[in-house]
């Protein structure tokens, strides 16, 4: 089998997902080549061919242009599988390429079992094993699912491809997250609120536990989207990635995007009414309880110590 890997580049930097792509190809026992719109000064360590288009010419974000370049490389390499990260770059580009190839796309692969691709469903409560019926397929990989134990090595052979097509979408640059006072990545203890807090007034319960533990409070995405907590408090893929000594997840079911932002915590205590919540998969301790009852009692007892 031959796989074409599509690496990501943003704001002048190669993104770390390329090592996950390489590891996926290795785990499939497949021959691989890589495609990158980036810079020859920022190449991944990789023992293979990289088809490189210059991001200065092709644009860092140019869906039509990247699709055309990728299709040209696919025509040359004839891979059976095209693999991208399941990221804002990958999920945008992958369906465009899949349709042009008349190929099935399998999104957010977390595992390969018996040679078949496994994807999550229903907030990670189910898994589906899927098989493309088409000869070729496009695949996106869930972030972190194929992280290699060792970083790949080697120097790639670079084959330059020329960018031409202007696209229908114009890109006008990046807007960085507003600088905030809270750097959760430096906190040793984080107590986070999820949808389970039920209403904004209950955020205080979480803040009080954080205070009792001399830590910071955080929040999951739904709490931030509902404007119950500031965006600077958000833990997860689109917020901050944290690795505290203690992470207390209160009323957080454990969506993949949240887990990706906190699973490197040393010790995870989850408080949730649902014993089967996905957060239980990575929690060291899951207390099955209503946070609105348990957290105030816990806080009171901690303050009395």
Partner 1 sequence: MKILVCIKQVPDMESKFKVNAAGNWFDETDLAWRMNEYDEYAVEQAVQLKEQNPDAELTVLCIGPERVKETMKKALAMGCDRGYHIADNDSHLKDPFAIASLIAGYAKDQSFDLIFTGMQSQDRGSAQVGVLVAEILGIPSLTTLVEFSYADGTINAKRELEGGTKAKVSCATPALVTCQLGLNTPRYPTLPNIMKAKKKELLSVPVEELNPPALLIETLQVAPPEKKGGGLILEGDPAELADQLIKILKEKTTALA
- How many CB atoms are located within 10 Å of the residue 13 CB? 11
- Determine, following the binding rule CB under 8 A, whether residue 2 of this chain makes contact with partner 1: no
CB of 16 to partner 1, least distance (A): 11
- Determine, following the binding rule CB under 8 A, whether residue 48 of this chain makes contact with partner 1: no
Buried b (16+ CB within 10 A) or exposed e, 258-277: bbbbbbebeebbbbbebeeb
Taking the least distance from each CB to partner 1, the nearer of 33 and 252 is 252
- Determine, following the binding rule CB under 8 A, whether residue 133 of this chain makes contact with partner 1: yes
User: Sign (positive/negative) of CA torsion 14, 17, 19, 24?
Assistant: negative
Taking the least distance from each CB to partner 1, the nearer of 159 and 263 is 263
143, HSE (Cβ side, Cα atoms, 13 Å): 22
Nearest-Å Rg of the Cα atoms of the chain is: 22
- Give the binding range for partner 1 (CB under 8 A) out of 30-38, 69-77, 174-182, 198-206: 174-182
27, 47, 57, 123: residue in contact with partner 1 (rule CB under 8 A): 123
- Give the binding range for partner 1 (CB under 8 A) out of 22-30, 41-49, 95-103, 145-153: 95-103
Considering CB under 8 A, how many residues would be counted as binding partner 1?
93
Q: Which of residues 184-223 bind partner 1 (CB under 8 A)?
A: 188-189, 213, 215, 221-222
Provide the pairing of β-strand 189-193 with 246-250: parallel
Q: Containing H/E element for 159?
A: strand 157-160
- Determine, following the binding rule CB under 8 A, whether residue 13 of this chain makes contact with partner 1: no
Per-residue DSSP letter, 240: B
CB of 154 to partner 1, least distance (A): 26
User: Sign (positive/negative) of CA torsion 81, 21, 247, 178?
Assistant: negative
- Determine, following the binding rule CB under 8 A, whether residue 53 of this chain makes contact with partner 1: no
- Determine, following the binding rule CB under 8 A, whether residue 286 of this chain makes contact with partner 1: yes
Contact 110, 167 (CB under 8 A): no
Provide the pairing of β-strand 111-113 with 116-121: antiparallel
Per this entry, what is the length of the chain? Answer: 305
Q: Which of residues 59-78 bind partner 1 (CB under 8 A)?
A: 61, 63-64
- Determine, following the binding rule CB under 8 A, whether residue 1 of this chain makes contact with partner 1: no
Contact 200, 228 (CB under 8 A): yes
Taking the least distance from each CB to partner 1, the nearer of 49 and 233 is 233
Q: Which of residues 234-263 bind partner 1 (CB under 8 A)?
A: 234, 237-241, 245-246, 253
Q: Which of residues 139-158 bind partner 1 (CB under 8 A)?
A: none
Q: Which of residues 100-119 bind partner 1 (CB under 8 A)?
A: 100, 103-108, 116
């Amino acid at each position: 089998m031959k796989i074409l890997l599509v690496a990501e580049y943003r704001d002048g930097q190669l993104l770390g997902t390329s090592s996950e792509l390489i590891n996926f190809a290795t785990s499939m026992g497949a021959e691989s080549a890589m495609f990158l719109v980036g810079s020859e000064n920022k190449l991944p360590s990789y023992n293979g061919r990289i088809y490189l288009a210059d991001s200065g010419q092709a644009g860092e974000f140019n869906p039509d242009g990247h699709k055309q370049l990728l299709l040209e490389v696919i025509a040359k390499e004839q891979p059976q599988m095209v693999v991208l990260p399941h990221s804002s770059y990958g999920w945008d580009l992958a369906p465009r390429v899949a349709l042009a190839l008349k190929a099935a796309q399998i999104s957010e692969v977390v595992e390969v079992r018996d040679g078949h691709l496994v994807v999550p469903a229903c907030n990670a409560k189910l898994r589906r094993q899927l098989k493309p019926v088409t000869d070729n397929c496009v695949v996106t990989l869930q972030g972190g699912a194929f992280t290699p134990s060792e970083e790949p090595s080697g120097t790639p052979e670079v084959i330059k491809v020329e960018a031409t097509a202007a696209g229908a979408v114009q890109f006008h640059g990046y807007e960085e997250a507003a600088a905030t006072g809270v750097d959760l990545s430096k906190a040793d203890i984080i107590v986070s609120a999820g949808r389970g807090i039920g209403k904004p007034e209950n955020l205080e319960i979480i803040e009080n536990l954080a205070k009792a533990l001399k830590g910071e409070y955080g929040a999951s995405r739904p709490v931030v989207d509902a404007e119950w907590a500031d965006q600077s408090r958000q833990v997860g893929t689109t917020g901050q990635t944290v690795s505290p000594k203690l992470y207390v997840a209160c009323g957080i079911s454990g969506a993949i995007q949240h887990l990706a932002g906190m699973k490197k915590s040393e010790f995870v205590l989850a408080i949730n009414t649902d014993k089967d919540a996905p957060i239980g998969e990575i929690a060291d301790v899951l207390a099955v309880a209503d946070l609105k009852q348990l957290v105030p009692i816990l806080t009171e007892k901690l303050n009395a110590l």
